[in-house]
Copies of this chain bind each other. A is one copy, B any other.
Amino acid sequence: MTVTAQKTNEVSSIRRELGISLPVICREIFAAHRAEIQVRNERIAVANLGKILEATLAIANRKGFAAMSLRELAERAGLSLGGLYAYIKSKDDLAVMIQAQVQRVLQQAMTNRLADIRDPAQRLSEAIRTHLYLSEALLPWFQFLYMEARHLAPSERRRAVALEQESEKIFADIIIAGQQTRQFRDCNPQVAAGMLKAMLQDWYLKHRKHRQRGLNVAGYATQVEEFINRYLAHTNS
């Protein structure tokens, strides 16, 4: 009970702090894509964008973006097929919208929340928790980004790969800093960061499995931290 409450609080604290709610996200998307979106009234546009994006994520995460027809999408979003095209330039454009937005949010959150922390061990903990809570708060968005990235146009895919590398580099740099202060033992920081990312991504890729086992984000975060801390700890033998 306490754990659940704490978890909910931590996630919703991230939500509040970073402005992660469907209306806010849609307002940003509306601002970023004003040129292509034909609807001028912001209230209406944001409301419909919300329905469209929610429906896209739900359908695409179940059967895949390629297998989702725009008719099915329009129906679920409560619009006609023609009406849908007032909000998107093309089907591919829709995928790019989502991808760009979740990338932007992730990058900004990591930067903001690590800004004031100096100690490597604390930075590592904060980076792990930010990544996990963010993926929990934006679960379908993260799942979409991971599963559909390879089906994007080459230029967009390169951006996705670059962000992925950048995000891994954040972890590697923290580990290197901790090795320089001798808080962490000597080992390959890239490998450690790679393993860490694999565990972080497992949270949202196998979300159902973890929840069925009664594990919540806070509990998983603790486990990941214990894993990486034991790996980075000095051997006393």
1/0 contact string of A192-205 vs chain B (CB within 8 Å) = 00110111011000
Cβ contact within 8 Å between B190 and A213:
yes
Residue A236 interfacial (CB < 8 Å): yes
Measured in the bound complex, the distance between the Cα atoms of B193 and A215 in whole Å is 14
Distance in Å: Cβ of A48 to nearest Cβ of chain B? 26
Q: Say yes or no: A64-B227 contact (C-beta < 8 A), given A201-B198, A202-B198.
A: no
Q: Which of B63, B201, B202, B236 contacts A194 (CB 8 A)?
A: B202
Rounded to whole Å, the gap between the CB of A236 and the closest CB of chain B is 6
- Residues of B within 8 Å of A199, CB to CB, are 195, 198-199
Q: Using an 8 Å CB-CB cutoff, how does the interface string of A38-70 with B read, 1 for contact, 0 for none?
A: 000000000000000000000000111011000
CB-nearest residue of chain B to A191? B223
CA distance A199 to B195 in the complex (A): 6
Name 15 interchain pairs, CB-CB below 8 A, sorted by A: A63-B66, A63-B151, A64-B151, A66-B67, A67-B151, A191-B215, A191-B223, A194-B202, A194-B206, A194-B210, A195-B199, A195-B223, A198-B199, A230-B230, A236-B236
A231 touches B227 (CB 8 A): yes
Give the distance to chain B from A54, nearest Cβ to Cβ, in Å. Answer: 19
CA–CA, A236 and B234, complex, Å: 11
